[in-house]
C-alpha cells in the first residue's frame, strides 16, 4: 500500500514538472519546424559597440553608396526585418538603415537576391547595381550555382544572424548548421511579470560564456525576445557581454503570401533551360 502511495506521488510530481516546461513557445517551434510562419520584427536594443554605418559619397555626377570596410570591426545588424516561410518558399528583407537594403526570395530551387531603398519618399525594389544605377530585373541562381558553404547557408536559412540567435532554442535541429561554438539551450523557467505579461527562459553555457534568452508573451502571443550573453574570467568577473532586445510586430503561423512573389517593378530575367521533349 505504501509502495502504491509513493508511486502515485512520484507520478504526480512528474506531471507537475512537465506542466512547468515551456509550453507557449511550442506553437512557434512547430511553425518553424513546419516552415509556415511570418515574422516581422524590430531590433530595439542593439548589442553594444555595433552600429550600422553606410557611408554615402556624392561624386560629381553619380550618387554613390560607398561601403567602406566595416567601421566597427564587428558585423552590422539590421534595425528591422521581415522573414516569411512557406514550405520551400522563403522571403527575407532587412532594414540596415542604409542606401540599399538586402532582400532574398527563394521559390523552390530559385534564389533571387535584390534590394530595397527609398526614392522620392517611396519604397522601391531594385536589382543589382549597374553603370546606370540599378537594374529593374533579377536573375535567379539555384543551389547548384552556389559554392558549398553558401549553398548550406541558403538551405539552413532562418533569417539574419540576429533573428537566428534570438530563435535558436526553437529552431529545428535538423535544419541548423551545428558547430561546437553554438549554445545548446535548455528550458529554465517560466513566470509572469507584474505588468501581466508572461515569459519563458532558456539558457546555455559554453566554457566561460553564459547565454540566456527570455521570450515574452501577451496571452499566448509572443511579443518580445531578449537575449544576453556574457563571458567571465577565472575570478568570476564579467569581462565582456552582449545583449539585444527584439520587438515582434508579428510572429504568426500564417505565411504572408504577398512577399512570396517578386515585387512589382522587378522583372525575372532568369534564363531557364527548355525541358527536352
Partner 1 sequence: MKKLISILATILLAFEFSTAQAETPPIVLMKFTNDTRYQKVDVPDVLSDLVIEKLLSSGKFNLVESKPIDRSLQQDLYDERSREIQNAQAEIANGNFNSLFEGSSFNPKLADSISTAQVGQIVSPEITSKIGQDNGAKYLIQGTIVGMGNDTWRDENAEIGNTIGSIIAAALTKDKSLLKGGADNVVQKAMIVECELRIIEASTGKVVYFRSSTCTAGKEIKGKDVTTKDAPDLQSKEFMNLLNFVSDKLSKGLIKDLDEGKIF
Minimum gap (Å) between residue 165 Cβ and partner 1? 16
Total residues interacting with partner 1, rule: CB under 8 A: 43
**Sole binder of partner 1 in the list 27, 146, 241, 250 (CB under 8 A):** 241
Closest CB to partner 1 among 93 and 200? 200
Beta strand residue intervals within 63-207, DSSP E = 63-66, 80-86, 89-95, 101-107, 110-119, 122-126, 129-130, 133-134, 137-138, 141-142, 186-192, 198-206
Minimum gap (Å) between residue 73 Cβ and partner 1? 4
Closest CB to partner 1 among 88 and 218? 218
Minimum gap (Å) between residue 53 Cβ and partner 1? 4
Distance CA 263, CA 54 (A): 25
Minimum gap (Å) between residue 25 Cβ and partner 1? 15
Closest CB to partner 1 among 59 and 122? 59
Minimum gap (Å) between residue 57 Cβ and partner 1? 5
Distance CA 140, CA 105 (A): 9
Indicate the pairing of strand 137-138 with strand 267-268.
parallel
Cα atoms found within 13 Å of the Cα of residue 9, Cβ hemisphere only: 6
Q: Minimal CA–CA distance to 54: which of 43, 64, 65?
A: 65
- Check binding of 95 to partner 1 (CB under 8 A): no
Minimum gap (Å) between residue 210 Cβ and partner 1? 7
- Check binding of 181 to partner 1 (CB under 8 A): no
**Window of 18-26, 59-67, 140-148, 164-172 that interacts with partner 1 by CB under 8 A:** 59-67
Burial 111-121 (b: 16+ CB within 10 A, else e): bbebbbeeeee
* Pattern 202-231, partner 1, x by CB under 8 A: -x------x-x-x-----------x-x-x-
Which H or E run contains 28?
helix 26-34
**Sole binder of partner 1 in the list 18, 73, 180, 258 (CB under 8 A):** 73
Which H or E run contains 7?
helix 2-19
Burial of 28 from C-beta contacts in 10 A (0-12 / 13-18 / 19+): buried
Closest CB to partner 1 among 131 and 144? 131
Question: Looking only at residues 101 through 140 of this chain, which bind partner 1 when binding is defined by CB under 8 A?
Answer: 131
Q: Minimal CA–CA distance to 43: which of 183, 238, 168, 225?
A: 225
Q: Phi and psi dihedrals of 89, rounded to 5? A: -110, 145
* Grid cell in block for residue 270: 532568369
Q: Minimal CA–CA distance to 157: which of 35, 28, 26, 43?
A: 35
Q: Minimal CA–CA distance to 224: which of 234, 216, 232?
A: 216
**Sole binder of partner 1 in the list 8, 66, 155, 254 (CB under 8 A):** 66
Minimum gap (Å) between residue 189 Cβ and partner 1? 5
Closest CB to partner 1 among 112 and 202? 202
- Binding residues (CB under 8 A) for partner 1: these are 44-46, 48-49, 51, 53, 55-57, 59-62, 64, 66, 68-73, 131, 188-189, 191, 193, 199, 201, 203, 210, 212, 214, 226, 228, 230, 236-239, 241, 243, 245
Amino acid at each position: 500500500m505504501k509502495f502504491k502511495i509513493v508511486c502515485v506521488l512520484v507520478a504526480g510530481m512528474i506531471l507537475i514538472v512537465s506542466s512547468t516546461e515551456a509550453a507557449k513557445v511550442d506553437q512557434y517551434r512547430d511553425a518553424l519546424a513546419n516552415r509556415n510562419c511570418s515574422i516581422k520584427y524590430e531590433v530595439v536594443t542593439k548589442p553594444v559597440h555595433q552600429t550600422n554605418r553606410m557611408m554615402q559619397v556624392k561624386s560629381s555626377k553619380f550618387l554613390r553608396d560607398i561601403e567602406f570596410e566595416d567601421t566597427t570591426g564587428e558585423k552590422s545588424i539590421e534595425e528591422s526585418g521581415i522573414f516569411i516561410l512557406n514550405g520551400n518558399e522563403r522571403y527575407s528583407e532587412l532594414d540596415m538603415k542604409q542606401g540599399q537594403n538586402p532582400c532574398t526570395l527563394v521559390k523552390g530551387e530559385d534564389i533571387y537576391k535584390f534590394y530595397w531603398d527609398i526614392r522620392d519618399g517611396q519604397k522601391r525594389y531594385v536589382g543589382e547595381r549597374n553603370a546606370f544605377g540599378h537594374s529593374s530585373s533579377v536573375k535567379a541562381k539555384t543551389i547548384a550555382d552556389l559554392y558549398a558553404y553558401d549553398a548550406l547557408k541558403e538551405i539552413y536559412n532562418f533569417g539574419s544572424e540576429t533573428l537566428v540567435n534570438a530563435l535558436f532554442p526553437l529552431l529545428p535541429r535538423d535544419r541548423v548548421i551545428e558547430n561546437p561554438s553554438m549554445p545548446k539551450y535548455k528550458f529554465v523557467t517560466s513566470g509572469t511579470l507584474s505588468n501581466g505579461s508572461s515569459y519563458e527562459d532558456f539558457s546555455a553555457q559554453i566554457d566561460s560564456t553564459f547565454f540566456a534568452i527570455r521570450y515574452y508573451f501577451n496571452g499566448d502571443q509572443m511579443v518580445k525576445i531578449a537575449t544576453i550573453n556574457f563571458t567571465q574570467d577565472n575570478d568570476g568577473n564579467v569581462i565582456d557581454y552582449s545583449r539585444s532586445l527584439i520587438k515582434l510586430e508579428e510572429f504568426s503561423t500564417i505565411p504572408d503570401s504577398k512577399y512570396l512573389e517578386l515585387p512589382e517593378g522587378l522583372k525575372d530575367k532568369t534564363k531557364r533551360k527548355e525541358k527536352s521533349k
